[in-house]
Chain A
Amino acid sequence: MKQVNLDELVDRVLVELAKQSSSSAKKEPLQAGAHSSDPIYFPEDKEMGVEKPKDRESLERAMSRTPARIGIGRAGTRMKTRSYLQFRIDQAAARDAVTKDIGEDLLRELGLPILQTKSADMQEYLMNLESGRRLSDESVRWLEQNGDKGKDVQIVVSDGLSTSAIEANIPDLLPALLQGLALRNISTGKPVFVKRGRVWVQDQIASIVKCKAVISLIGERPGLATAESLSAYMIYQPSAQTVESDRTVISNIHRGGTPPIEAGAYLAELLDDILRYQASGVTLARLRSR
């Protein structure tokens, strides 16, 4: 019995030593408190928490292949303190990101006119879906007078649930998408920004500008791994009979998913298909797989 305990102890010491030497760089900030007034710099990278992996290199490689929280080890069956706190920090940040407002300088730089929905504020936007699905009367008038009519494609950008997604992706995505469409001789109306918009506002916009297809680039609800994820919703000639499965959706556009420039090119290709097949959503998928 004594022997076993001693072996265990030796093992544990060896593991601790190995951990300290392999991750000393990461741990340094935590220990930097030479002066008690120095703050704690809490590490943001995933911690390898498995104490004695069968193959450390293989585990490192696996951890690098996915943003998922793997290789984090356990305390009993629970998460270790560092991964638990990291999880809670990421959730707190995501929570805060929802209520952040969009920087209007960026929209000016991108030359996007700002339209409003019927949502007066974030609370109304969150709790009343209908308010984000319709443009305000003033924006309807503006679009009727100033929108480009009868084009192949109308692009709509909207903050949705994440302004960070717009800031991080649109500066690269929008030019790539416009260029991709131009190369395919697809005409586009002047893109617009819709503040606090839901996906379905695209149906109203399409009916006003009378485009063939409409694409909305909308900030997704922030996740823990990223608050910068953007989705693209596309539909061919929406009408009163439109159902959700008529929309083609590409989600997870962000640095760690489909990068914005690549997404721009891909979306142009998809829109080309939508115009060619005169269909979107499940119908398009069926026609394409034939």
Chain B
Amino acid sequence: MKLSCVIRKQHYQFSSVKDVLAKASEEKSGDQMSRIGAQSALERMAAKVVLSEMLLSDIYENPVIAYEDDEVTRIIYDDLNLTVYNEIKHWTVGELRDYILSRKARMPELTRLSRGLTSEMIAAVAKLMSSIDLVMASQKMRYQAYCNTLIGEPGRLAFRCQPNHPIDDPEGILASIKEGLSYGSGDAVIGINPNNDSVESVTKLLVMSHEFIQRWQIPTQNCVLAHITTQMQALRNGAPISLMFQSLAGSQKANEAFGVSKEILDEGMELMLRYGTATGPNVMYFETGQGSEVSLDSHEGVDMQTLESRTYGFCRHWKPFMVNNVSGFIGPETLYDGRQMIRADLEDLFMGKMHGLPMGIAPTYTNHMYADQNDQEIAGMLTALAGANFYMGVPGGDDVMLSYQDTSYHDDASLREILGLRPLREFEQWLEKMGIMEDGRLTEYAGDLTIFD
């Protein structure tokens, strides 16, 4: 394996696969903070050159965190299809990029290919891809999943209605749910982030959202995004849950900080299949995002993008209904500005799809980051073009509980109109029945929450 190169008469030496991956990453403040990123623009290019010549088998033989030490690595390697891997292990990362972008690689070929790729290989190839490369490759792949609705069909775009309230006031939450539905947002899930994570409080919100869905016969699923163990307890007590949520990361250490492990996820999914209210088989909802490992001091010397890819390798084990990427949620210490945020969103969408996941994107920014609404809308349009399955829907784009900005109910409706996309099939029929939508466009009644009175 070659770990050095000469460009512009300058010799560059790298110490390991992990080092090459980190230095070949596009500039991100989180990798600078961990002191693993490239020190100069040319060093970054040197790392990309070395990476482009690296064999997939070099990457396979050198996982960034050892198999024995890390549960995420074990899941990625144990779930790999070795026949597919053996067919391609002699490829370089550069050849992998050319193949993915070639016309002969359509969705069936890419789906098969993905079974033989470790998460580090997928991260590696994304480091050799530009924005348009990432969009074009993402467009080829569209993965479906079924909970109570079918997500991921071509020509359709779904949204999570995110009706959070600073003190979990059920009436306030209900008002935001109605508002979202009246804009056509809520076919992916009606998902409430609770401020109070207690079992009693979470149960109350689960019952409230479930009853509302039943009353109006809405083809969707409910979810309260508490810690998975809280949801499991609520479920054991008989609370109605159709989708179980958890945030995940790309190292065992970071997942331990989240209070989650393979064992807990296995138990959670088993409980959902036995006691959940959904049709399934996809009953899990995961959130991920570049930088969580850095902020939890558990990056193990691995760059943020590679860790994010490993998170997807971990996620896919539980066949989720939704994987939502929230790169940009943390702050400037991980993604400094709008430019870094947009790049991360494009990389993450591609890497998630390359893992065969039903990916959605939450292009987000916080107020201590150097980004604003314009950056967020650009990221939203680009990832919609690249074929994301879903986005969030937040009233006016302002989450009054989590204190960050995300796509609004207005943005949701706009993204559909810009690209001529429809809501999920069953949900569109429901919107038509309610008089909110006609021929894929909002009617004059849309945007009035009192139609649910």
Contact = CB atoms under 8 A, between A and B. Distances in A.
Interface of A: 50, 52-56, 58-59, 62-63, 65-74, 77-79, 83, 87-88, 90-91, 94-95, 97-98, 126-129, 161, 220-226, 229, 243-245, 251-252, 254, 256-258, 281-282, 285-286, 289
Contacts of A70: 175-176, 179, 395-396, 449
Contact of B410 (A52, A79, A223): A79
B16 interface: no
Interface in B144-192: 163-167, 169, 171-173, 175-176, 178-179, 183
Given A62-B175, A221-B331, A91 B367 contact: yes
Given A54-B445, A223-B399, 7 more contacts: A50-B448, A52-B448, A53-B450, A59-B448, A68-B398, A91-B372, A224-B367
B451 interface: yes
Interface in B300-353: 331-333, 336
Nearest to A49: B447
Given A50-B447, A65-B172, A245-B259, A77 B395 contact: no
B414 interface: yes
11 contacts: A53-B450, A58-B450, A65-B169, A68-B400, A69-B397, A91-B373, A129-B294, A222-B368, A222-B403, A223-B404, A289-B233
Contacts of A94: 367
A126 B410 contact: no
Contacts of B408: 69, 79
B400 A78 contact: no
Contacts of A87: 373, 396-398
Nearest to B165: A66
Cβ-closest 6 pairs across A and B: A69-B396, A223-B403, A245-B259, A66-B172, A62-B175, A257-B166
Interface of B: 29, 33, 163-167, 169, 171-173, 175-176, 178-179, 183, 195, 197-199, 227, 229-230, 233, 256-259, 294-297, 331-333, 336, 366-368, 372-373, 395-405, 408, 410, 413-414, 417, 442, 444-451, 453
Contact of B398 (A59, A69, A282, A286): A69
Contact of A257 (B171, B195, B198): B195
Nearest to B415: A77
Contacts of A95: 367-368
Given A62-B175, A66-B176, A68-B163, A223 B398 contact: yes
B398 A285 contact: no
Contacts of A56: 450
A55 B450 contact: yes
Contacts of A229: 166, 403
Nearest to A198: B295
B258 A244 contact: yes
A128 B294 CA distance: 11
A74 B447 contact: yes
A213 to B, nearest CB: 19
Contacts of B447: 50, 73-74
A286 B166 contact: no
A282 B229 contact: yes
Given A77-B410, A77-B442, A62 B178 contact: yes
B23 to A, nearest CB: 19
Contacts of B199: 285, 289
A83 B163 CA distance: 18
A54 B400 contact: no
B198 A72 contact: no
A222 B367 contact: yes
B89 to A, nearest CB: 36
B414 A68 contact: no
Contacts of A90: 398
B166 A252 contact: yes
B178 A68 contact: no
Contacts of B445: 54
A128 B333 contact: yes
Contacts of A126: 331-333, 368
